[in-house]
A and B are shown apart, each in its own frame.
Chain A
Amino acid sequence: AQSVSQHNHHVILSEAASLELGCNYSYGGTVNLFWYVQYPGQHLQLLLKYFSGDPLVKGIKGFEAEFIKSKFSFNLRKPSVQWSDTAEYFCAALLTGGGNKLTFGTGTQLKVEL
Chain B
Amino acid sequence: DGGITQSPKYLFRKEGQNVTLSCEQNLNHDAMYWYRQDPGQGLRLIYYSQIVNDFQKGDIAEGYSVSREKKESFPLTVTSAQKNPTAFYLCASSIDVAGGAYEQYFGPGTRLTVT
A and B are interacting partners:
no
**Interface residues in chain B, defined as those with a beta carbon under 8 Å from any beta carbon in chain A:** none
